[in-house]
Amino acid sequence: MALQALLGCIALLLAAGVAAIAAARRPAAFRFVYGVSLAACAGALVVAAGALLVPESLGGAVTLPLGLPWLGAHFRLDALAAFFLVVLNLGGAAASLYGLGYGAHEESPGRVLPFFPAFLAAMNLVVLAHDAFSFLFSWELMSLCSWALVMAQHRSAGNARAAYVYLLMASFGTLALLLAFGLLAGPAGGYTFGEMRAAAPATLMAAAVLALALLGAGSKAGIVPLHVWLPLAHPAAPSHVSALMSGVMTKVAVYGFVRIVFDLIGAPQWWWGALVAAIGGVTAVLGVLHALMEHDLKRLLAYHTVENIGIIFIGLGLALAFGANGMAAAAALGLTAALFHVFNHSLFKSLLFFGAGSVLVATGERDMEKLGGLIHRMPRTALLFLLGSAAISALPPFNGFVSEWLTFQAILLSPALPQWLLKFLVPATGAALALSAALAAACFVKAFGVTFLGRPRSAAARDAAETDRFSLAAMAALAALCVLAGILPGYVIDALAPVTEALAGAHVPGQRHLDWLTIVPVAQSRSSYNGLLLFFFIALAAGLGAEVIHRWASDKLRRAAPWDCGFPDPSPATQYTAGSFSQPIRRVFGTVVFRAHEEVHLPRPGSLAPARLHVRLRDLPWDAVYVPLARGVDALAGLLNGMQFLTIRAYLTLVFGALIALLATLAIWP
């Protein structure tokens, strides 16, 4: 029954997309489209959450007479799908709510409105699909809808290129997934997931499937070095779509990876875990370093998505390594940590993109060097953005900390792993995780501090106005969930139990009944954390301190010019900028990671020309992989260009030759 209701919601979304084509020119069309999307997503969210909490309603299966005639379209709702449906419809509902306000500022609604509900529907279909054809069809629909949304503001410089790179990477990813499913289906061609699950592929074949899944799902999720499209495409879309792409679509990619690697392949090998965890560690550190170097608020957030995907993959890698060694409980912990982070990241990344969108609407600026002081003009947005920043920086008592803490706990279980490589790799991954968490805090001090604090750096920032109430409501809802998931993590962990039970064969012990809502992932003597108590204590200590001081000491206050060591300068140009804030970290890591190069041009004494500092950064994966690849393709295209100018006889010869070659292959093939 739950599955039918979900399919109904999806049909509603698709219908809204079709209706939007007709109605896009009406001024109030956006209210209708986002309203319907909000209702459909909220409905799907309720159904999926109900299915996750009441496991009896799981397991429904539907086969629709669509798609390939001999296959049909299979849909099924299991625990994994239900969890990801919760994540994605939560993000979808928030984005729709945000769109109710944000949509009024859209320049060309005809380019956004039809695709937005279709994009949501496609993502829902990917998660529900239970055969390779429907999965790939929905996956491609999702890619194309999001591509169309990236192209929505096609006149802005760089957006067309972003969309082009995105389209290339998306096609490449789909190709890899197509091959992966082909290998999984085997020569018999069992294209439903049920048949794939039953057939266990050979070791070598399974390794190939893993590699293809990493390429296909990983390119959509943004693991290094397949991340290059992500910081281009995500910011190019309208902000609520950016939030969907960064907060939700990357999670659908993670779903694809989990579905293939944890569910369909069969028993994992230990080195899969090593590979995935290593990729996760590298992705986390490189992503956050890139984010730190970025001065465009939305691009910074997009790069930060890369970091969080890395953290998720660390958890997944640990789960694979534990699972391969038969340590089901530890594997469940790793998987719980990863999925918890999936949930968390979808919350705070959507929140932050909404905040960036509000700043964009209020000032027309994405460049942080032209912002500043917005906390005075947009106090509510600032507060909500601050909550999101604290959550994403993994600060207690917010939710980001809990999932990273769980990942750390999983790492601390890993000395029991017997393989030598894992013994060295896992602590190194732990160091990478710790480093990326600390750098993330620096990154968000920069993002929030330069954008919202200080003094306005441009007229646009000085005259900004607070955003509308729909946007605020969407952000407030997400921020509240960030706080709630941070102080009551036990409920989320318990909700994940059926998922890990299905995939890893075990689950983290139940947390709900523990005293004081503490979470104890392994054993009481080993580790425990209580976000509620911490939150309560910090609030109590701060409130007590304020009360005591204001009552008995002094509560006098005087406004004056800043002190600034005796040289206050009224010009806002004397503030620290985003570039200068990240300069020390660029010095520390940049020479190695970005081949950073600084040049100082000093004018001659007496000259009035300004001194200039030039910094050049290089994106090594881009230079090492993509540029040679593009050159190779260009060269090949140049060679094949001659084929365009042959005579008809020559073309016929080619066709004939190809036919003969194919027939010969068929004859020789055993």
Interface residues for another protein in 502-561 (CB under 8 A)?
A: 518, 524-530, 533-534, 537-542, 545-546, 549, 553-554, 556-561
Phi, psi angle pair for 512, to nearest 5°: -65, -35
Beta carbon of residue 379, minimum distance to another protein (angstroms, whole number): 8
Helix or strand (DSSP H, E) at 38: helix 29-53
Is residue 585 within the footprint of another protein (CB under 8 A)? yes
Contact predicate 378/363, CB 8 Å? no
Beta carbon of residue 444, minimum distance to another protein (angstroms, whole number): 8
Q: Is the peptide bond before 225 cis (omega within 30 degrees of 0)?
A: yes
DSSP 253-306: HHHHHHIIIIIIS-SPPHHHHHHHHHHHHHHHHHHHHHHHH--BHHHHHHHHHH
Contact predicate 203/262, CB 8 Å? no
The region of 135-143, 192-200, 309-317, 420-428 touching another protein under the rule CB under 8 A is 420-428
Q: Is the peptide bond before 397 cis (omega within 30 degrees of 0)?
A: yes
With CB under 8 A as the contact rule, the residue among 431, 630, 646, 662 that binds another protein is 431
Q: What count of other Cβ atoms lies within 10 Å of the Cβ of residue 509? A: 18
User: Residue 398 or residue 626: which is nearer to another protein going by CB?
Assistant: 398
User: Residue 312 or residue 450: which is nearer to another protein going by CB?
Assistant: 450
Q: What count of other Cβ atoms lies within 10 Å of the Cβ of residue 551? A: 9
Is residue 620 within the footprint of another protein (CB under 8 A)? no
CA distance 74 to 65: 9
Site for another protein in 587-616 (CB under 8 A): 587-588, 591-592, 597-600
Contacts with another protein: how many residues (CB under 8 A)? Answer: 96
With CB under 8 A as the contact rule, the residue among 363, 393, 458, 467 that binds another protein is 393
CA distance 136 to 181: 9
The region of 45-53, 299-307, 562-570, 644-652 touching another protein under the rule CB under 8 A is 562-570
Beta carbon of residue 445, minimum distance to another protein (angstroms, whole number): 5
Residues recorded for the chain? 670
User: Residue 343 or residue 529: which is nearer to another protein going by CB?
Assistant: 529
Is residue 313 within the footprint of another protein (CB under 8 A)? no
With CB under 8 A as the contact rule, the residue among 512, 580, 603, 625 that binds another protein is 580
The region of 197-205, 215-223, 313-321, 568-576 touching another protein under the rule CB under 8 A is 568-576
User: Residue 524 or residue 644: which is nearer to another protein going by CB?
Assistant: 524
Q: What count of other Cβ atoms lies within 10 Å of the Cβ of residue 192? A: 21
CA distance 118 to 174: 19
Is residue 584 within the footprint of another protein (CB under 8 A)? yes
Helix or strand (DSSP H, E) at 493: helix 489-504
The region of 128-136, 297-305, 362-370, 421-429 touching another protein under the rule CB under 8 A is 421-429
Q: Which of 34, 39, 170, 159 is nearest to 106 (CA)?
A: 34
What value, to the nearest 5°, has the Cα angle with vertex 241 and ends 136 and 352?
Answer: 120
With CB under 8 A as the contact rule, the residue among 396, 489, 498, 509 that binds another protein is 396
Contacts of 73 (CB under 8 A, 6+ apart): 63, 64, 65, 66, 67, 129, 131, 133, 134
Site for another protein in 231-250 (CB under 8 A): none
Residue with tokens 């169309």: 148
What SS3 string covers 237-250?
Answer: CCHHHHHHHHHHHH
Helix or strand (DSSP H, E) at 492: helix 489-504
Beta carbon of residue 350, minimum distance to another protein (angstroms, whole number): 21
What SS3 string covers 84-135?
Answer: HHHHHHHHHHHHHHHHHHHHHHCCCHHHCCCHHHHHHHHHHHHHHECEHHHH
Is residue 282 within the footprint of another protein (CB under 8 A)? no
CA distance 89 to 41: 5
Phi, psi angle pair for 322, to nearest 5°: -65, -40
User: Residue 143 or residue 436: which is nearer to another protein going by CB?
Assistant: 436
User: Residue 312 or residue 437: which is nearer to another protein going by CB?
Assistant: 437
Beta carbon of residue 221, minimum distance to another protein (angstroms, whole number): 24
With CB under 8 A as the contact rule, the residue among 581, 594, 619, 626 that binds another protein is 581
CA distance 173 to 168: 9
User: Residue 182 or residue 572: which is nearer to another protein going by CB?
Assistant: 572
485: left (phi over 0), alpha (psi -120 to 50) or beta: alpha
Contact predicate 401/394, CB 8 Å? yes
Beta carbon of residue 23, minimum distance to another protein (angstroms, whole number): 43
The region of 21-29, 57-65, 215-223, 394-402 touching another protein under the rule CB under 8 A is 394-402
Is residue 441 within the footprint of another protein (CB under 8 A)? yes
The region of 125-133, 273-281, 434-442, 473-481 touching another protein under the rule CB under 8 A is 434-442
With CB under 8 A as the contact rule, the residue among 121, 439, 481, 488 that binds another protein is 439
Is residue 430 within the footprint of another protein (CB under 8 A)? yes
User: Residue 35 or residue 449: which is nearer to another protein going by CB?
Assistant: 449
Residue with tokens 């005087």: 558
CA distance 329 to 320: 12
The region of 36-44, 50-58, 89-97, 410-418 touching another protein under the rule CB under 8 A is 410-418
The region of 92-100, 173-181, 446-454, 660-668 touching another protein under the rule CB under 8 A is 446-454
Beta carbon of residue 469, minimum distance to another protein (angstroms, whole number): 21
Site for another protein in 359-378 (CB under 8 A): 372-373, 375-376
With CB under 8 A as the contact rule, the residue among 221, 386, 488, 497 that binds another protein is 386
Is residue 83 within the footprint of another protein (CB under 8 A)? no
Beta carbon of residue 415, minimum distance to another protein (angstroms, whole number): 4
